[in-house]
Amino acid sequence: MNITAPPPRRTRRIALGSRLSRWDLKLSPYLYISPFFLLFIVVGLFPIVFTAVISFMDWDLVRGRGTFIGLDQYAFVLGQPKFWIALRNTFSIFLLSSAPQLILAIFIAAMLDQNIRARTFWRMGVLVPYVMAPVAVALIFSNMFGDKYGLVNTTLGHLGLEPIPWHSNAFWSHIAISTMVNFRWTGYNTLILLAAMQAIPRDSYEAATLDGAGRIRQFFAITVPSLKPTLIFVIITSTIGGLQIFDEPRMYDQYGTGGANSQWLTITLYLYDIGWGQWNFGRAAALAWILFILILLIGVVNLFVTRRVVRDERSRR
């Protein structure tokens, strides 16, 4: 029996167009995202590295060069009482603003999550303060909290009450600046929490209603536990923003130096004074890196807390 051998297979040649299409599929995603990374290298990574180099030098801005002095700039900044005052003020303003802001944002998000009329209008309305220029917000509130002719003290005077020392007292100045921060950022955090609330399955609420749970019980038993990862994100972003607060204390009075006795001096305001007031960019760079390390440490803590929460949620399921 004769078995006919199959004809030899012809060698398939890949045309140039096929190769280009394969290269396009492999390389095009990287080309699309490359502008961001190129821009980040120019305006983000390079300044960070350059600032790190300057922080170890006694930098001469006129000549554009400096003398290496090691950790002396860091030791000088950490040895200044003004740094610790600024650090205390920064955390004080953060604590006075973050806790009320978070509670108010959760409450407003819960209201917007209900079946109300003109929901889109109200959701857009809470974001209006965030869109406003920080300088405009600071100017309005600084006049509102004026010591002599401010709106608050004028109202208290008509009621026969003593005026509040908004600028001379550290605590009251922190309250005023925290109010500005809350006005700007509450709506932003509200929308983030609202998006997380809308992602919660409605079946859980229906089952809780059938079991006889009221809205308050459903809020604390279903809504709040489901918002844990989002709450952690909001807390860490608020912490980073609180450590970098600048516009509000800068515009709180006409001088922008943090008060005569550094009542509301923050780290970034102190950094600005060292860099552009004292013209010492080496110390300003060292302070900037100290602030960066603080933010990084808080980010690491947030990472561990987030993993712990996610692990606990998975174990419950």
Neighbours of 158 (CB within 10 A): 8
Q: Give the pLDDT score at 174.
A: 93
Q: Which position has the higher pLDDT, 64 or 103?
A: 103
Task: Write the secondary structure of 159-200 as one string of H (helix), E (strand) and C (coil).
Answer: CCCCCCCCCCCHHHHHHHHHHHHHHHHHHHHHHHHHHHHHCC
Mean pLDDT of the chain: 83
pTM of the predicted protein model: 0.80
Which pLDDT band holds residue 122 (cuts at 50, 70, 90)? confident
pLDDT one-digit tens code per residue, 168-223: 889 999 999 999 999 988 989 999 999 898 888 888 888 888 878 788 888 888 88
Q: Does residue 67 carry a pLDDT above 90?
A: no
> How confident is the model over 125-131, as a mean pLDDT?
86
Residues 6+ away with beta carbon under 8 Å from 218: 205, 208, 209
| Residue 173 contacts residue 264 (beta carbons within 8 Å) | yes
Of residues 67 and 86, the one with the higher pLDDT is: 86
Region 130-157: mean pLDDT is 86
Top-tier CATH class for 73-316 = mainly alpha
pLDDT number for residue 302: 73
Q: What token pair was written down for 162? A: 């003593």
* Proportion of the chain above pLDDT 70, given as a percent: 88
Q: Over 80: is that where the pLDDT of 36 sits?
A: yes
Residue 7 predicted with pLDDT over 70: no
What is the residue extent of each domain of the chain? 16-54, 73-316
The whole-number pLDDT of residue 314 equals: 52
Share of the chain above pLDDT 90, in %: 18
Average pLDDT over residues 11-39: 71
Element (H, E) at 156: helix 151-158
Per-residue model confidence as pLDDT tens digits over 227-247? 888 888 888 888 888 888 888
- C-alpha dist (Å) from residue 265 to 166, 201, 211: 14, 45, 53
pLDDT confidence of residue 289: 92
